[in-house]
Each structure stands twice: as structure tokens, then as C-alpha cells.
Structure 1
């Protein structure tokens, strides 16, 4: 298709050039005839044809020069516009949009690239400002509590029970602030692409059992039943990073499930992938909450996450770790009924089931 367009353009150009030459020959013939009449001399034969050709050459050269100057001026205006747009982008003005009519050539691709870059940079700037705003808000909340209760402790007449209560709140808010800082550093490290990534073969089912045992005090305190439906499967992954994934998903399930509820961890093996499902019959999520659940600082239930010290960064970290492993994570939920997170990881084609 592109070759056909190029051929048609070439054919059209040659046709126009031929018509222009004929027109110039006609004009040159009449101009030279007028000059001969004015001079009173009429050359014949070779000289008549020579001066007609010279006239055609002069007309053609003058036309080319005029068109070149017009095109040069137009091109200069285009480049001035492009340089101005790039200068505005360098100064942080991402509202730039070049509305120049161009063909689908290299220059047209350049204009499209600049417009696309401006849109992407504008989106990055919006995300940066939103990130700073969220960080400021998350940090300000515990700092306000710590400051307020610290001032209250200055009251010498404060009863001892209230003093202890205020100290517990200060400790809780300090831990929350520390967790926010730790998660921010962790997320920044993961996104910098310089975070250590050391995949190795290990038993995924054993890792999940170890995580469940590590969280045993949490789920026993709420009298939660743990249902493990695991196979003897080995994966090629970073064990430490994946451990953070399972700790986060299980901790969330424990936080947002009712007492005496059930958490089920199951595996489904496909040809080249393994899917791990973490299911709980807790408070559930709305459809709108499911759309934003992996966004930074998003809290499906702000009051519950604040009480539990949540920062809204845990699932963002989980999503980033899964992406690093070329896997996927999705969520299915129904409000007040259940929530299930599905984590799918790639398996090597020659992988065999590990032995006990």
C-alpha cells in the first residue's frame, strides 16, 4: 500500500513537471517573439530554438528559486514552532499541542511524537503531584496525632490511665509513620529497577505454608479457619519478594474478614503457568473499589485501614513484584460476601513436579 502511494505521487509529480515545461515553453516562445518584434530582428532555425530553450530554463529556474524560498520560509516557521514547543516542555509546560498540517512523513512523525510526549509528560506530572499530595496527607495525619497527644501529656494533672492511653496512641501512630516510610522506600526501590532480583527454584507450596504459620497468631486471635489446597509445585522466582506478596495478601484477608470466617488458599496449574487464589468470606469490595485497589494510597475502607495502620501502598508493592515476575494479579469480589485475589506466575516448560 505504501509503495503504491509512493508510485502514484511520483507519477503525479512527473505529470505536473511535464505540464509545467510545456507551459513554460509556450510562455517562452511568446516572450521571445515579443522581444524579437520589439528589437525588429527575427532569428531563424537553430538560434530561434536556442533562445526559446534558454527562456524556458530561465523561467523554470526562477520558479524553482521562488518555490524554494517560499518552502524555506514555511519550513523555518515550522522549525521555530517546534523549537518553541520543546522549549516550553523543558520549562514544565505540558499543555503544548502542535496543530501543524503535515503529511505522514518524517516531519509529521516528529510533530505527532512531540504531541504524544507532551501528553505523557503531563500525565506523569499529574501523577507526581498526586503522589506528593498523598504522601503529605498520609504523613500529616499521624504527625498531627503525635503532636496533639504529646501536648496533652504536658498536663501534669492528667490521670495515669489517660496518660498510658495517649502514649499507646503515640506509639501506634509512630509505627504507622514508620511503616509508610518503609513502604515508600520499598516501592521506590522496586520501581528504580535497581532492586535486587534473584530468581531461583523453590517449593511454592512450602512457602505458602510457612507464611500461614508466621501469621498464625493473627488468624487464631479471630478464630479464622485456614483451608489450604496446595500441590507440590516449584517455581522460578525471587523467594524474598514473593514472600512479601503472600504476607500482604494474607494479612489483608485476616484484617478484613469477620471472626470465625474462612480463608482458602488454592492452586491451579495450567500448561505454562500456575495460579494461586487467596479467597476469604470477608467484607468484600464494590466494583468501583476493585478498579482502584492496586493504585498507590488507595484505601477501600479508610476507617478500617487507618485503625489497622494501613497506608494504601501494600497492594501497589504486590502488583509491582508480580509484574517483575512477568505474572498477573487480579481481584474478584462481592460486597459483604467474598474477596479473591488471583496471582498467576509463569512456569518453565520443562519443569516437573517437585518431590517431597
Structure 2
């Protein structure tokens, strides 16, 4: 039986080769016919058939050689595809320490694919690290007030406490509950703002009046620290989400007041440049170090210890500010120097509807 299949295989291969050569002999016939017409020469029929047959064999040989080269190349590339599949499988299982090193050369035909996989793994690794840091920060921010609440609630069970001590502990518990409530609100707000489908409720209103009203709302805070509030604003009408932008001014003014030295100065300016409204809020407070500046818009990031000693916070305010500004197709910039103060500049299009067309 084995011999029978070998005979069938032999016959099949030879028939295939004969047909292959015959096809290329026909192709050779048309090629030689064209050449004869060009050079005005017609050989005898037998000579013509011999020429066609030889040319057909040559063309068939060249074609087989090219095909075999491609097949050999594919066999050489097989380990590459195997590594690509293994890399993708590793990434799908949560292992982002993947890098295709030995294939990462500019001469490789699939260099863009290699770079894409390496970049994808690096980005996913960075996102995973951010996720873990985020969870750690949330746990810390929730854990600290809960520990205080539990500790002072236990202390209140002491029947020998004076009224003053009892009220003091109750004030601490209340403040920690407010802190937790603000954290919850800010996390929910960021989650909503992160949604690509978040609808902006656009209205046309006077931006200068909105900022002036926000400044007045904070009068108790800046009066208590005896701060000099310097205001220069042009009359500017803007089309934007009024409620969201109010949160921007509240967060930035709150920070400027909290981090300013007593008797310091806060300057608020508003002017129009072409189709943009430019808002600048600058303080003469403790400032931000150069190494911390690139990270101040990260969620839960808190600058150096000197700032943390001045006032506590969740580290979400500036993240919310940046997100709102970006939703309005604007830009926020910051300059700061330790011991001399911080300046935020916000650039907003006068009409966001023009940016979304």
C-alpha cells in the first residue's frame, strides 16, 4: 500500500511539473512571437518549438526558485510570529514586562508592528502602575479620617470627659466626615468628567462677573489671612458650561488663599486675546518646587512636605480643574518658585461651539 501511494505521488508530481512547464511554454510562445515580429525573423517550426520549450523551462525554473525563496523566508520568520503571539498572550494575562528586543532593528520588515507591541506593553504597564497608586492613595485618604473617627468615637465613651473635651472630639469627627464627603464628591465628579459622553451645558454669560462673584464668596477666607486681592478684568462674554467653570475658579482661588502667607497678595487678571479668554491667578505664597511641577495635575499627588504642613487636601482639586479646562478645549499652564508664589494661566475659547464644529 505504501509503495502504491509513492507511485501515485510520483505520477502526480510529474504531471504537475509537465503542466507547469507547458503553461510557461505557452507564455514563451507569445514572448518569442512578439520578439520575432520586432526583429523581422521567423525560424523554422521545429527550431521555434525547441526555443519555446527551453524558454518555458527557464521561466518555470525561475518561478520555482522565487517561490522556494519566499517559502524559506517564511520559515525563517516563523520564530518571529511565534514570539509576537507569545508577547500578546503575556500582555493579555496582565504581564506588561514584554519587549521584542532582538527584532527591534530598522531593517526588519515588521518594525512598525514591533514598535506598536512594545509601546502598547509600556503604556499598559504605566497605566497599571497608576491604577495601583490610585488604589493605594484612595485607601490612604479614606483610611486616615476613618481612623480618627473611630479613635475619637471610642474616646467619647469615657464618661469622665468634660463638656469642652467632648465638643472638641465631636468637632474633629464632624470635620473628618466633611473631609470624607468632599473626597467622595470629588471622586464622583472626576468619574463623571472622565466620561467621553459627558454633556456640557453651554450658556452665554459674562465671565468677568462670574469670577468677581467667586472672589466675593471667598472673602471670609482671604480677609482672615489679611490678603491683598488685586483684580483687573475686562468685560468678556463667553459661551461655556457655567457651573463647571465656576469649579475651576473656586479650586484655584481656594489653593491661592490656602498656600499664601499671611498679608500676601493674590492677583487675578482677565483679558481677551483673539478668540480666547485668558485668566491669570497668581499668589505670593510658598510656591511649588521644580521637581513637583510636572506632577501637580496628577490625581492624589501632593507636593513637598512644606506644602502639606500648611494645609491638608486630597490632591484631586487640580485634576478636576485640568479636566474641566480640557473639556472646554482650553489649556492650563503653571509657573512657580519656592518661597515666591505660584501663577496659573487658563486659556479658554470664547465660544466652545466653534471648537466642536
Report the secondary structure of 1:288's partner residue. coil
Shift in Å at residue 348 of structure 1?
Answer: 5.0
CA RMSD of aligned residues (A): 2.8
Relative distance call for 1:305 and 1:202 in structure 2 (3 A) is farther
After alignment, is 295-304 or 177-186 more displaced? 295-304
Matched-pair contact (CA < 8 Å) for 1:230–1:266: yes
After alignment, is 242-251 or 255-264 more displaced? 255-264
**Cα deviation 1:49-108 (Å, max 9, x = unaligned):** 677556545644553453243223234333322222211111111112123267778733
Matched with 2:115 is: 112
Matched with 1:331 is: 334
Matched-pair contact (CA < 8 Å) for 2:289–2:304: no
Matched-pair contact (CA < 8 Å) for 2:277–2:348: yes
What count of residue pairs does the alignment treat as equivalent? 307
Matched with 2:98 is: 96
Relative distance call for 1:77 and 1:145 in structure 2 (3 A) is same
Shift in Å at residue 302 of structure 1?
Answer: 5.2
**Cα deviation 1:3-49 (Å, max 9, x = unaligned):** xxxxxxxxxxxxxxxxxxxxxxxxxxxxxxxxxxxxxxxxx967876
Is 1:187 matched with 2:164? no
2:257 to 254, 258, 270: 254
Matched-pair contact (CA < 8 Å) for 2:335–2:343: yes
Shift in Å at residue 306 of structure 1?
Answer: 7.5
For 1:225 and 1:286, locate their aligned partners in 2 and report how far apart those are by CA, in whole Å: 24
Matched-pair contact (CA < 8 Å) for 2:259–2:310: no
Is 1:148 matched with 2:151? yes
Report the secondary structure of 2:110's partner residue. helix
Matched with 2:345 is: 342
**Cα deviation 1:312-347 (Å, max 9, x = unaligned):** 110111011111112111222232232221111123
Matched with 1:245 is: 248
Relative distance call for 1:62 and 1:267 in structure 2 (3 A) is closer
TM-score by length of 1: 0.77
